[in-house]
Amino acid sequence: MRIGYGWDSHEFKKGVPLKIGGVALEHTHGLAGHSDGDVLLHALTDALLGAVAAGDIGGYFPPSDPKWKNADSSLFVSVALAKVKEAGYQVCNVDSTLVLSEPRVGPVANRIRQRVAELLEKQDDHKKLEVAAAMLDADKHVDEVVKGLISDVKIEKRPRREKVRT
């Protein structure tokens, strides 16, 4: 079994769409970033890559490359998942913690879980993916609140196929 760990943080930005875990959420602010700013999917990508020692998100999708401007971050997850498969592993567990004051994540946590499970090709397994939301101290202005996400990924080696002798 291997474990990968990812962390990411984005500033809120007024008037841009908010996407977390591949799910569009209604909010006055979105997350600033070169791509769509999906903090959860970025941390997840890094955790997947890290678990198989395949580099990090910045190496594959540098913010300096105009190609990734406003990119859908689910693409980053699929590239990282392909690396996991290439190394002969499969994802068995994802545990993510979002840290933000608003919008409330509780009401949408299940949609996020489902979407992340889909992206990891584990549609029937989404209840095993833990997405926890932690509320920060609310006396800070929303723009100054620290946003972050920690994502742990556990993966296990797939059983080797027996070679067929002819």
Least distance between Zn ion and beta carbon 81 (Å) = 17
Binding residues for Zn ion, total number by CB under 5 A = 2
Would you say 11 or 125 has its CB closer to Zn ion?
A: 11
Binding span for Zn ion by CB under 5 A among 38-46, 85-93, 124-132, 133-141: 38-46
What residues between 2 and 21 interact with Zn ion by CB under 5 A? 8
Least distance between Zn ion and beta carbon 42 (Å) = 3
42 binds Zn ion (CB under 5 A): yes
46 binds Zn ion (CB under 5 A): no
Amino acid at 160: R
The separation between the first and the last C-alpha atoms of the chain, rounded to the nearest angstrom, is 33
User: Of 143, 45, 136, 152, which Cα lies nearest the Cα of 97?
Assistant: 152
How far is residue 127 CA from its own chain's centroid? Answer: 16
Give me the count of residues in the chain. 166
Name 10's Cβ contacts closer than 8 Å, sequence gap at least 6: 31, 32, 33, 37, 39, 147
Binding span for Zn ion by CB under 5 A among 21-29, 42-50, 78-86, 153-161: 42-50
Indicate the helix (H) or strand (E) that contains 63: none
Least distance between Zn ion and beta carbon 148 (Å) = 10
Would you say 59 or 159 has its CB closer to Zn ion?
A: 59
Residue 66 to residue 61: CA distance in whole angstroms: 10
Q: Which residues bind Zn ion (CB under 5 A)?
A: 8, 42
